[in-house]
Amino acid sequence: MKLNVVKQRGLWWIVSGLLISVSIAAMALSWTQFNGPVKPGLDFIGGTRLQLERSCVDEAACTNPIDIVEIREILDNQGLEGSSLQLVGAGGQAISIRARTLDVDEQTSLRSALTENIGQIDTTASKIDVVGPTIGRQLLVAGLLSLIVAFAGITVYLSFRFKFDYAVLALLALLHDVVITLGVFSILGLTLGYEADSLFIVALLTIVGFSVNDTVVIYDRIRENFKLMPDKSVEQVVNNAVNQTLGRSINTTMTTVLPLLAIVLFGGDTLKFFALALIVGFLAGAYSSIFIASTLLAWWRSGPSATAEDMAAPAAE
């Protein structure tokens, strides 16, 4: 099997263009609804999330599932109309409540009202998250700042190891991966109600770190081939490099995605969407490295001024 990536670049670019357009459209829609490219969760806008499980030490207490209608009434009585409420866990013995930021008195009063209805709460199986609005903003700013710094750091490093245009094109491929991941999760937000938490930003950063790897491996090979075969055309050199690294690109993506897939399917709830974000990003990353970063470089460097020596020039090894 030998791919001629450069020749078919129109096709790759159209596929990416479509994916990016859909992503941007989803983000725009999400922005009008939730004020963010992806539906922002508790971590960024603040609020309270309570996950409470009924204590089943006395088995008789757990014969019936919790009555969601009654819980809704309690929430209304506590002045928490419009909070979201869900029955979770096996046998409907646990509830998850999402409300505005509650202070300690409001929390206590809500809890005692709930205890009155559903009986003793098993605190060891419960979860409380209360995030003030200022903390949320702080987390968001810190996350965005680290994304920008990572982008800048990677560009500087690649300019130093390769050349500035390699770095810029690698960055473009990265943005491609980040935009597509954002797009997929903004669609998940619009359809399944997914909310981005701080782990989502972690996922984006990991995608940045990982998918630039794929691009670097291919660029590394392009640089090497230019040195070894200075008489070949840019197109040939890029095609060769992509094909030589193709096995590695596919295998690495697969070996990384396998454990993640296991987490999505069987892991704890907290990590599920995190692992899913990584999978989406890594797949987009593999695609963009093989088909986009390489063809962009071939296109950029096939101009009349670019010579083979110029490509191979950075001798850092």
Partner 1 sequence: MGKQRSMLVVIVGLAIAAVVIILQLPTQLGLDLRGGSQLTLQVLPSEQITQISQRDLEAVQRVIENRVNGLGVSEAIVQSSGQDQLLIQLPGVSDPAQAQRVLGGTAQLEFRPQMPGTEGQLEAVAEIVGQQQQRQAALLAVGSNGLSEEQTAELESLTTDLQASRETLMEFFEPSELTGDKLTDAIAQPRNIGGTAWEVAITFNNEGADMFSEMTRNIAGTGRTLGIFLDDQLISAPTVDVAYAATGIPGGSAVISGSFDTETARDLEVQLRGGALPVPVEVVENRTVGATLGRDSIQRSLYAGMAGLTLVLIFMAVYYRLPGILADIALVVYALLTWAAYNILGVTMTLPGIAGFILSIGMAVDANVLIFERTREELRAGRTLYRSVESGFYRAFSSILDSNVTTMIACAALFWFGAGLVKGFALTLAVGVAVSLFTAFTCTRNLLFFVISFPQFRKVGYFAPSLDDDLPSNSQPSQP
Segment 30-89, which members bind partner 1 (CB under 8 A)?
51, 53
* 5 scored as a contact of partner 1 (CB under 8 A): no
Q: Which of residues 129-148 bind partner 1 (CB under 8 A)?
A: 129-132, 134-135, 138-139, 142-143, 145-147
How many binding residues for partner 1 (CB under 8 A)? 81
Distances (CA, A) of 33 to 28, 38, 44, 123, 250: 9, 10, 16, 35, 38
* 159 scored as a contact of partner 1 (CB under 8 A): no
Tokens of 151: 């982008």
* 254 scored as a contact of partner 1 (CB under 8 A): yes
* 263 scored as a contact of partner 1 (CB under 8 A): yes
* 158 scored as a contact of partner 1 (CB under 8 A): yes
Q: Which of residues 210-249 bind partner 1 (CB under 8 A)?
A: 210, 212-213, 216-217, 220-221, 224-225, 228-229, 240, 243-245, 247-248
Q: Which of residues 272-291 bind partner 1 (CB under 8 A)?
A: 274-275, 278
Q: Sort residue 194 into left (φ over 0), alpha (ψ -120 to 50) or beta.
A: beta
Distances (CA, A) of 60 to 39, 57, 63, 78, 224: 40, 9, 6, 28, 72
| 10 vs 268, beta carbon nearer partner 1 | 268
Q: Which helix (H) or strand (E) holds 174?
A: helix 164-192
Beta carbons within 10 angstroms of residue 33's beta carbon: 12
| 44 vs 187, beta carbon nearer partner 1 | 44
| Of 269, 303, 304, 315, the one binding partner 1 by CB under 8 A | 269
Rounded Cα distance, 111 and 217, in Å = 55
